Amino acid sequence: MNHVVCVTPNPAADVTYEVAALMPGATHRVRRVLRRPGGKGVNVARVLRALDVPATVVVPVGGPTGEWLVDALRAEHDTGFRVLAVPVAAETRRTVTVVDGSGTATALNEPGRPLTEAEWAGFLAATADALIGAAAMTVSGSLPVGAPADLPARLVALARDAGVPAVVDTSGPPLLAAVEAGPDVVKPNAEELAEIAAGDDALVAARRLVALGARRVVVSRGADGLLGVDADGGWHVPAVPGVAGNPTGAGDAAVAALAHALVAGTAWPYALVDAAALGAAAVLADVAGEVDLAAYHRFLPTLSAERIA
């Protein structure tokens, strides 16, 4: 079964408010409210579903918010992914995104509450079970407060032991720890890479991550396009011009594209183009986890990967 395991250590109930304009200190009339299960790995699974790739979402959930999240996710079960929920005591967090009339998004993200060592052990065991028969694994997003910084590295080790390629999208010390575990792809954005770059430019910093253990590094840089680096050199894919909307799910869509490429055996330059096109198509969607498939197919032939090093 060529399913992708989408590990989500820090899920959330995502709430999106649409307003005409966002002004500090003012009272706002909300035009529309959207509430849906979230977390970066959940968004990755939804995009994979749109690409007809089956996925398994692994999430720790707790409290009434966690119960709602599981029920809502399982309501989506028949539409392309299954849910492996790991019960924990901590209440699942919420995130709030305010989108104004221009399409500008402002995000307010609650921190995930701490889990116990035993709960993390259960989460790792559930992931190991999900990896049986999997074609790829993604590890996406931040970690809850107090989580072990090497959690993504442990997840990469589980995937390696199962013979499953891994894509990691996280930041800070957890990203560095994951890199040393030897993932197939890591996908920081420009800001996340800058946090660990010690003043180096993106290309030099990405090369350093390859030297530390990552097989490939993909850096999403917004209007500056996508950078891809491996031991053989670097590639650049320009951004699709004139795309405006909600960018919060663009990185998750790129991760889904990279996982899909691992499943399909897509050549590296074409995988980068696919990630850039799908990320741009996600910007045109109302919420993270959705993509404008017509735009995606329209963007693909307009993009190409250029070798830069």
Active site residues: 252
Query: Exposed, middle or buried, 92 (CB in 10 Å: 0-12/13-18/19+)?
Result: buried
Give the count of alpha carbons within 13 A of 305, CB side only: 21
**Structure token digits, residue 176:** 């560095």
- At residue 79, φ and ψ (nearest 5 deg) are -100, 10
Query: Greatest CA span in the chain, whole angstroms?
Result: 54
Helix residue ranges, H only, 148-189: 151-161, 172-180
Distance between CA 119 and CA 125 in Å, rounded? 10
Do residues 280 and 298 make contact, with C-beta atoms less than 8 angstroms apart?
no
Do residues 116 and 18 make contact, with C-beta atoms less than 8 angstroms apart?
no
Distance between CA 70 and CA 276 in Å, rounded? 31
Query: Exposed, middle or buried, 9 (CB in 10 Å: 0-12/13-18/19+)?
Result: buried
